[in-house]
Amino acid sequence: MKKYAIFENKEIKQVNIVEGKLISLLHAELMDVEQAYNGNWYLVGYAPTKPEPTLQERLTQLEQEYQMNRWQREAILAPNSPYSDFAKKRAQELEDLAEQIRRNSL
């Protein structure tokens, strides 16, 4: 998309969008820009992509999504627990991620 902008950082092609009376005051140029995942603006083709989430971020996101924290997982995965296979499968998915995190932190 075309917007009036000035360079914030020429090296990484980051720009600041300029509007209104500031366009002529700051000598902004019409540039083809795109907004990155972090909200900053860049010349088209230079916007950084969102990095893959870490294992910890993924675990935290799934815990929130499933509404299941560690003590709940332990209860669900306990021998002879009355929970459904669906709940046990989700708890095991989270526990597998948590185990990877624990192994990597050693």
User: b/e string for 61-98 if b means 16 or more Cβ within 10 A?
Assistant: eebeeeebeeebbeebeeeeeeeeeebeebbeebbebb
User: What does the pLDDT profile of the chain (106 residues) look like in tens digits?
Assistant: 999 999 999 999 999 999 998 998 899 999 999 999 999 999 999 999 999 999 999 999 999 999 999 999 999 999 999 999 999 999 999 999 999 999 988 7
- pTM for the model: 0.61
DSSP state of 85: H
**Both tokens assigned to 10:** 């020429």
Q: Looking at residue 28, what is its pLDDT?
A: 95
The answer to whether 7 and 35 are in contact (CB under 8 A) is: no
Other CB atoms within a 10 A radius of the CB of residue 35 amount to 13
Q: Looking at residue 103, what is its pLDDT?
A: 92
